[in-house]
Amino acid sequence: MIESFNNKLFNKYSQFPVEKLIEGLEKVFAQDIDINIVFVKPREIKRLNKDYRGVNSVTDVLSFPLDTKGEVYICPRYVKREFKKDKFSEEILRLSIHGILHLLGYEHKGKFEEGNREEMFDIQEEKVKEVLNLLNGKMYLIVGLGNPGEEYDGNRHNVGYLSLERLEEILKKEDFKTNGWKNEKIFDSITNIFEKNVGGNIKVVLLKPTTFMNNSGMAVRKVLKKYKVLDFSKELIIIHDDLDIPLGQYKIQLEKSPKGHNGVKSIEDHLGTTNFLRVRIGIENRNEKKIPGEKYVLMNFTEDEKVTLYQAIDSALDQLLLNLN
């Protein structure tokens, strides 16, 4: 966990939310570390510099490893002398990363300047770019639920898979770049990553769990960790079939799902939350509901039903992308 303190000293010189900066640092440094980033006045960092380094002067950053938690001290007023507006926030980010790398055991001999290729400074700038990309961009993990295997391809229960295939076509038309579907066995999933740069990087990860429906949560939890998704309510979207909604209709809702959907329940159980967006595609088309639900969802759509289904899927995806934009 990374926490910041005395944030008012940062906010005095920057309109950028310090909370977002810390969130970006946590995503990039996804290790089991506890670090406090403490903003201090010039006289305080001068005292620390003198007491612990024997240097009687103000500096920009100091870091101290403690027993259970490292601390990084930064002087915003000192940084403000050289860096204005957006460059100020970027330099605070750079100094935070510099201090964290020291706590992780990295050292350097020279100063940070153009042409210095010391390992620590190379890693520092890579991390700065990673965090800036996260802060300036958007990332969505869109999961389509279904069962793997050709025998399930046309099932009503595989609407999530079908929806991702339609979404793939839409994203390509919107000039998103992709290298296609990839089977990631270690994550129990097939993924397709789309990226586009429009004033900030946008990444959309399409995910088909390769576990069976009842274990969908296993794959989702693994991939969430891989892509460092923290805010489920904004970054995680589940697309699934819904027996509570008639064929041809859909609903896009936060936290609301059909009670008997085992795939959605598995995700909720593995994540320990219901706070994510669901795209609920209706599949109910039984006249008298004589066919049990668990059997009905494993039946294939008729050709006429497919026409109605895909119209609903396309409408749902159009609304979803509009909402995300």
The catalytically annotated residue of 98, 102, 157, 261 is 157
CB 153 within 8 A of CB 217: no
Sign, Cα dihedral of 234, 239, 240, 241: positive
- The residue among 8, 69, 123, 77 whose CA lies nearest residue 61 is 77
Burial 222-237 (b: 16+ CB within 10 A, else e): bbbebbbbeebebbbb
Q: Tally the residues of the chain.
A: 325
The sheet carrying 2-5 orders its strands as 2-5, 35-39, 70-74, 61-64
Radius of gyration of the CA atoms of the chain, in A: 25
Give yes or no: 157 in active site: yes
As given in the structure block, the two tokens for residue 275 are 């706070």
How many other CB atoms sit within 10 Å of the CB of residue 92? 26
- The residue among 162, 158, 163, 154 whose CA lies nearest residue 146 is 158
- The residue among 162, 176, 204, 177 whose CA lies nearest residue 311 is 162
CA distance 91 to 238: 38
- Tokens 């391809």 -> residue: 153
Active-site amino acid positions? 157
